[in-house]
């Protein structure tokens, strides 16, 4: 979970750039953590792995440094062409962007002290990703959430020291996640990309 801190530089707040390298390495760290929670979550981690791999491919092919440069490059082909693509970087970032909102809400809940992580996780999911998922995915996700370890165990496996230290780390990491979320939200709103199919 030290990875959450690396998702983006705090200094980027207020319309700065989201650098692709730390963004993707942050996601890789989160995915490793998710994989360590067990096979029940593998349908989720597989989807996230595929999305990160797609973005790595685009990054390597075009040498994008930031989310902004990826969006600019894909928009240059015109909005209609972008909407028609099922492998665009933009629609893929949008999926991860919605998942980042889930993460932000979930970590805030974890920090707040509610002991039932499955309740926290379900609430965070319903307030974010769920509205974009079909019934069958929502059902599978809700079942998987029941397998989450308790808050105490969860803070322990984050492996950042005592519970107090883990909670303090969350307090530091959550604002970074919020910055990346708001910069991306602004970028996608500006270019009318928030409903990319």
Ligand X SMILES: CCCCCCCCCCCCC/C=C/[C@@H](O)[C@H](COP(=O)(O)O)NC(=O)CCCCCCCCCCCCCCC
- Segment holding 145, helix H or strand E: helix 135-145
Q: Which stretch binds ligand X (CB under 6 A): 8-16, 52-60, 125-133, 182-190?
A: 125-133
Interface with ligand X, residue 99, by CB under 6 A: yes
The two three-digit tokens of residue 86, written as one number:
């099922």
Q: Which of 19, 20, 120, 141 binds ligand X (CB under 6 A)?
A: 141
Interface with ligand X, residue 1, by CB under 6 A: yes
Residues of 127-144 as b/e, b for ≥16 C-beta within 10 angstroms? ebbbeeeeeeebeebeeb
Per CB under 6 A, which of residues 38..77 are in contact with ligand X?
41, 43-44, 47-48
Q: Phi, psi at residue 15, to the nearest 5°?
A: 85, 10
Q: How far is the CB of 30 from ligand X (least distance, A)?
A: 4
Question: Could you count the other beta carbons within 10 Å of the beta carbon of residue 105?
Answer: 21
Q: Which of 30, 177, 180, 183 binds ligand X (CB under 6 A)?
A: 30
Q: Which is nearer to ligand X, 65 or 195 (CB)?
A: 195
- Cα-Cα-Cα-Cα dihedral sign, residues 35, 41, 42, 43: negative
Q: Which residues bind ligand X (CB under 6 A)?
A: 1, 30, 33-34, 41, 43-44, 47-48, 95, 98-99, 102, 121, 125, 129, 133, 137, 141, 148, 158
């Amino acid at each position: 979970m030290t990875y959450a801190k690396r998702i983006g530089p705090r200094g980027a707040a207020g319309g700065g750039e989201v650098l692709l390298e730390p963004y993707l390495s942050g996601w890789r760290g989160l995915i490793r953590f998710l994989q360590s929670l067990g096979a029940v979550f593998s349908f989720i981690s597989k989807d996230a792995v595929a999305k990160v791999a797609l973005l790595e491919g685009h990054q390597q092919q075009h040498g994008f440094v930031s989310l902004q440069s990826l969006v600019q490059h894909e928009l240059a082909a015109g909005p209609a062409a972008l909407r028609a693509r099922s492998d665009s970087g933009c629609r893929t970032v949008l999926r991860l962007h919605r998942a980042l909102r889930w993460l932000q809400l979930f970590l805030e809940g974890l920090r707040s002290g509610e002991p039932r992580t499955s309740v926290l996780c379900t609430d965070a999911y319903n307030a974010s990703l769920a509205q974009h998922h079909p019934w069958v995915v929502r059902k599978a996700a809700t079942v998987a959430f029941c397998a989450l370890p308790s808050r105490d165990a969860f803070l322990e496996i984050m492996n950042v020291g005592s519970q107090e230290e883990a909670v303090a780390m969350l307090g530091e990491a959550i604002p970074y996640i919020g910055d990346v979320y708001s910069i991306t939200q602004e970028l996608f709103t500006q270019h009318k990309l928030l409903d990319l199919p």
